[in-house]
Chains A and B, each alone.
Chain A
Amino acid sequence: MPLSRDQIARRAAAELEDGFVVNLGIGMPTLVANYIPDGMDVWLQSENGLLGIGPFPTDDAVDADLINAGKQTVTARQGASYFSSSDSFAMIRGGHIDMCILGAMQISQEGDIANWMIPGKMVKGMGGAMDLVAGVKKVVVAMEHNSRKGDAKLVPECTLPLTGKQCIDMVITDLCVLVMDEGAQRFRLTELAPGVTIEEVREKTTAEILVDEKAVSTVEV
Chain B
Amino acid sequence: MSDKQHDNAAAVFGDLKNRGIIRDGMSVMVGGFGLCGIPEQLIIALRDTGVKGLTCISNNAGVDDWGLGLLLQTRQIAKMVSSYVGENDTFEKQFLSGELEVEFNPQGTLAERIRAGGAGIPAFYTATGYGTIVADGKDTRAFYRPSEDTTLFNREGDRDDPPSKRPYVLETGLYADLALVKAHKADPFGNLVYRKTARNFSPMMATAATTVFAEVEEVVGLGEIDPDQVHTPGNYVDRFVQTVSEKRIEQRTIRQAV
Contact = CB atoms under 8 A, between A and B. Distances in A.
A128 B34 CA distance: 13
Nearest to A74: B253
A63 to B, nearest CB: 7
B154 interface: no
- Chain B CB within 10 A, most for which of A125, A163, A164: A125
Given A65-B37, A84-B204, A131 B128 contact: yes
Which secondary structure dominates chain A's binding surface?
loop
B101 to A, nearest CB: 13
Nearest to B245: A64
A130 interface: yes
Contact of B132 (A70, A85, A94, A163): A163
Given A56-B253, A82-B197, A93-B126, A64 B247 contact: yes
Contacts of A57: 254-255
A130 B112 CA distance: 14
Interface string B186-228: 0000000011111111111000000000000000000000000
Contact of A93 (B84, B108, B202, B248): B108
A62 B252 contact: yes
A103 interface: no
A86 B130 CA distance: 19
B126 A125 contact: no
B27 interface: no
A215 interface: no
Contacts, number: 179
A76 B251 contact: no
B254 A73 contact: yes
Contacts of A72: 251, 253
Given A48-B197, A85-B107, A131-B108, A165 B253 contact: no
A135 B128 contact: yes
Contact of A125 (B83, B147, B249): B83
B229 interface: no
B33 A125 contact: no
Nearest to A85: B111
A164 B132 contact: yes
Given A50-B197, A126-B83, A62 B133 contact: no
A215 B256 CA distance: 45
Interface string A39-77: 000000011111000011111101111110111111010
B131 interface: yes
A125 B84 contact: yes
Contacts of A63: 196
B1 interface: no
A64 B199 CA distance: 12
A64 B128 contact: no
B231 to A, nearest CB: 8
Contacts of A56: 253-255
A66 B252 contact: no
Contact of A122 (B92, B134, B147): B92
Contacts of A46: 197
Interface string A94-115: 1100000000000000001000
A36 B34 CA distance: 28
Given A48-B33, A71-B34, A131-B107, A85 B201 contact: yes
B59 interface: yes
Interface of A: 46-50, 55-60, 62-67, 69-74, 76, 82-86, 88-90, 92-95, 112, 122-131, 134-135, 161-165
Given A73-B254, A83-B199, 10 more contacts: A56-B255, A59-B254, A63-B196, A67-B34, A67-B197, A71-B87, A84-B200, A122-B92, A125-B82, A127-B83
17 contacts: A47-B107, A57-B255, A67-B33, A71-B87, A71-B250, A72-B253, A85-B204, A86-B111, A123-B104, A124-B86, A125-B84, A126-B134, A128-B83, A134-B128, A134-B130, A161-B133, A163-B132
